[in-house]
Structure 1
Amino acid sequence: MIRKDGTTVWTEVKASLISDENNHPVGILGVTRDISKRKNALDELRKLSRAVEQSPDSVLITNTKAEIEYVNPALLKISGYSAEELIGQNPRIFSSGNKTKKEYEMLWHTITKGRVWEGEFQNRKKNGELFWEATTISPVTDQNNKITHYLAIRRDITEQNRMTQELIAAKERAEESDRLKSSFLANMSHEIRTPLNSIMGFASLLPEEESKELLNEYANIIVKNSEQLVSLIDGIVLYSKLQTRLMTYKPTRFEASKLFSDIKDSFSLAVFQENASLNYECNIDGATQLFTDYDKLRQVITNLISNAIKYTSGGEITVGCNSGEDHYEFFVKDTGIGILPSDIEHIFERFYRGRNIEESTTRGTGLGLSIVKELIELLKGEIWVESEVGKGSTFYVTLPYVR
């Protein structure tokens, strides 16, 4: 109905026939009632119902006995359950078991007191998959302010939580990297300064020394420290090339015997000076042709042996190789100090040094094993370590057959 002022009014009309004493119709009795408020309320209710049905968030309603009475399509979609499977059930059907009894008691205490509870749940889908939801649970009251139902609105935050955890992990890695870099720079200063001081100190003694025996000793010390300095700089340059992707894979064919012969010649003096023994166990024919980047493979094994010598004073080092079904395996085994279990997963990280290393007596930059790992990745191989503290370590390297 349209009023005189042009506004629309919803009305309910009831009409009845008026008859005379002979039952002949003589008129109509009409009653009109304004139902605008009721109609508007119904419209609002339908609108609310559609909003809940179409909401991307999960909506769940329970009675005061915690029995589910309503679930919207979004909840059915994410949980994998049907409405028939959920109606009448307790919401614990979604429980993953990661919340304690005390936490549930606090939740129940909050909502039964008429207050809103907000928090996160790790819930379980029908197929067993876990997912995270941010949940708000609020009481629903009647006109007498008595709680009749509880309304839970839940939003899937699984991806958000995953990204948050990744950001936290990235932040921790960045902080650890900064710490290791600072330690590396401080250590590098010491690593460079130590051989330089020796070179400068003994070089200054040469002009005044008359003893040929002492001159030879000073000269040997200068040469040894110069070699250490060159090795240090070579390592830094190699690391820099790997980081800037300037290293390229240059495969060639060569005999296994050549590789081990060259390595043996390189370490005869170093092994003697450390009072260690270096053994070779190559279980493939020396004439076997390997096809990979010779220089990089040699660098890998050289670094592993150097590392073993550093931590195996007076012990035994074994270098060897085996052949598998589709790969060659190289290993460097020592009877040194070993690696702590907590260090194993970090040992190939840049600047990382084992926690059981005596810094004052064992020098190093923390780059050697990270260089080895990156070289192996360049060679399309794999590397891992097995170790026991106090008994030694074995580093394994595998390279695929290339024909």
Structure 2
Amino acid sequence: TYLHRIAEAQRDYEQRFRHTLENIDLAAVALNRQGRVTFCNNHFLDITGWERDDVIGKNWIKKFVVDEDQEQVSGIIRKMDTPQSFPSHLELQVKTRDGEPRLITWNNTLSYDSKGEVIGVTGIGEDITEMRRTESELLKLYQAVEQSPSSVVITNPQGDIEYVNPKFTEVSGYSAEEVIGRNPRLLKSGETSREEYSNLWDTIRNGGEWRGEFHNRRKNGELFWEAAAISAIRDNEGNITSILAVKEDITEKKRLEKEVEKQNRELALAETMAAMGRMASMIAHDLRNPLSSVKMTLQILDKKADPAVSADTNELCHISLEQIRYMEEILSDMLSYSRPDALKPEWIPIDKVIDLSIGMSQRRRHKKKITLHTQYHSGLPTIYADATKLRQVFSNLIANAFQATIDSDSPQVSIEAMIELGHEGTNVRIDICDNGCGINAEDQKRMFEPFFTTRAKGTGLGLAIVKRILDQHQANIYVSDNKPAGTCISVILPINPATQNPKTESQDHEQDPYR
């Protein structure tokens, strides 16, 4: 009959369909209207560990659905009564024989009888347990990178940026949109050499991890230090697919290291000064008194000199007095540096201080007939400072300028005082320039260190005392070359040091890159 032929055709179709399901690399399960399993393929058995007899005829919900999903699946099976609302796609945890559920994503197809009534559903599913686990791990990794306290940058093999995390934006000032597709060289300050970059790339290409430090530049131009670990990410065939850089902002660490180093220097200097203080006391007690007696004796002999006495004897007397005065200067410098007095500041005109300092240094000037130029700009304010100590500073600097011109054909020294407006207030700037022999760059770095001198005579304490006094005044002193020949010393004095930031010995003429 007609219905019999239809039924035969339906059975033949189902057999071919089930044969196809047996040969696909996906799980296949068929349920009837009551939710019992009428078919499963071998792949489903393989991934769940069940035997066929454990599956066929069993209630799908009770046997294979985890407890927390059973109510949801029961509602889905009831929807076979309303095919238009039956879900075609579903992710479901399926119980396995060993008790570890597998997550399977199902594509569902309803089956109909000859009358068009729903008789069951066939689900074709893919085991996505490992994929979801990997996605979960990747999500955790992504969140860890996004929340990392270190900057993370990923580039392609050519070095073009593909990803940066929020910490990179915070540290560098560049947003992700501003740097994606660009090369990290936009951060370069120019302080890392070409050889270092070459070594970096050689290390990465050879499969190693490069570690080092960069002095980079933020978007606002500010310099900062980063410690970086850079390595290559490779595919299964060993080809470089990306380059990963994990960087830590160590600017503050560098600053603290510099501060500790400075404190250690200050501690060592304090210990040296304590030893110098003890030595100076010994010298003052054991040497100064007999030296004064010798000096007094020579002065008496000089005044009572008989004209009949040899001129050579008188000359020897004068030479001896000169040497004693030199020894007294050494003693004075040692005592002054090892036992610095407290400031006694008052409001003073700087031009008067400089004039008095010139007078104290005149003896050396007249010996060589040095031309001295002074220029005091109009409107120079009074400054709050210790006049006696500043006279010591300027007389020392001016005397050094005179001394530097000793071999010049036309020795000249210029002194200029002017107002200078700085970020922290109004200052007075005094430039003392000579056309002498000049100071090489290496000596310029060390010239304010105690006991450092390039002269045959001298303790090397003169400029160290100058630096100590200027530090007490929160002032700066800089050294530069005077063109075409000679040296310029610049002293920057705050009008009122109490309104300025404290001055430390570690500050120099250039902006501190570790700020």
Label 1:194 to 1:35 Cα distance change in 2 as closer, same or farther (>3 A): same
- Give distance in 2, aligned partners of 1:297 and 1:200: 32
> Counterpart of 1:21?
114
Give matches, 1:296-311, under 5 Å: 296-304=389-397, 307=400
> Counterpart of 1:248?
344
Determine if contact 2:110/2:120 at 8 Å carries over to the other structure: yes
- Give distance in 2, aligned partners of 1:5 and 1:151: 44
1:118 shift after superposition = 1.3
1:226 shift after superposition = 4.5
C-alpha RMSD of matched pairs (Å): 6.1
Label 1:339 to 1:139 Cα distance change in 2 as closer, same or farther (>3 A): same
Determine if contact 1:195/1:229 at 8 Å carries over to the other structure: no
Matched AA of 2:234: V
> Counterpart of 2:331?
233
Q: Looking at CA atoms only, which structure, 1 or 2, has the larger radius of gyration? A: 2
- Give distance in 2, aligned partners of 1:148 and 1:117: 13
1:56 aligns with 2:149: yes
Determine if contact 2:479/2:487 at 8 Å carries over to the other structure: yes
| 1:370 pairs with one of 464, 487, 497 | 464
Matched AA of 2:460: G
Superposed CA offset, 1:357-403 (max 9, x none): 2x2xx3x111123323444565677766777799877767687889x
1:53 shift after superposition = 2.9
Label 1:69 to 1:307 Cα distance change in 2 as closer, same or farther (>3 A): closer
Determine if contact 1:139/1:151 at 8 Å carries over to the other structure: yes
Matched AA of 1:369: L
- Give distance in 1, aligned partners of 2:250 and 2:466: 37
Superposed CA offset, 1:213-244 (max 9, x none): 489777766655554443333322222332xx
- Give distance in 1, aligned partners of 2:407 and 2:119: 128
Gaps in structure 2 of 5+ consecutive residues: 1-65, 68-94, 421-426, 497-515
- Give distance in 2, aligned partners of 1:41 and 1:282: 80
Determine if contact 2:161/2:184 at 8 Å carries over to the other structure: yes
- Give distance in 1, aligned partners of 2:194 and 2:431: 52
Superposed CA offset, 1:99-140 (max 9, x none): 677766665555455x13313455565666665451322232
Gaps in structure 1 of 5+ consecutive residues: none
* Aligned partner of residue 339 in structure 2, secondary structure: helix
> Counterpart of 1:134?
228
Label 1:117 to 1:249 Cα distance change in 2 as closer, same or farther (>3 A): same
* Aligned partner of residue 21 in structure 1, secondary structure: coil
1:20 shift after superposition = 3.4
Superposed CA offset, 1:10-34 (max 9, x none): 4336455444332333445567776
Give matches, 1:84-99, under 5 Å: 84=177, 86-89=179-182
- Give distance in 1, aligned partners of 2:392 and 2:479: 17
- Give distance in 1, aligned partners of 2:494 and 2:157: 66
Matched AA of 1:9: P
Label 1:340 to 1:390 Cα distance change in 2 as closer, same or farther (>3 A): farther
1:246 shift after superposition = 2.6
Give matches, 1:2-401, under 5 Å: 9-12=101-104, 14=106, 16-28=109-121, 35-63=128-156, 68-84=161-177, 86-89=179-182, 111-112=204-205, 115-120=207-212, 121=214, 131=224, 132-142=226-236, 145-147=237-239, 149-159=241-251, 162-163=254-255, 166=258, 213=309, 224-242=322-340, 246-250=342-346, 260=356, 275-276=367-368, 293-304=386-397, 307=400, 338-342=437-441, 343-344=443-444, 346-353=446-453, 355=454, 357=455, 359=456, 362=457, 364-375=458-469
Higher relative contact order (CA 8 A, sep 6+): 1
Identical amino acids, percent of aligned pairs: 26
TM-score when normalising by structure 1: 0.61
Determine if contact 2:401/2:434 at 8 Å carries over to the other structure: yes
Q: How many residues align?
A: 376
Superposed CA offset, 1:324-371 (max 9, x none): 569988888878x64423334543443221x3x2x2xx3x11112332
1:152 shift after superposition = 0.8
Superposed CA offset, 1:75-100 (max 9, x none): 44445555455555555565666667
Label 1:123 to 1:398 Cα distance change in 2 as closer, same or farther (>3 A): closer
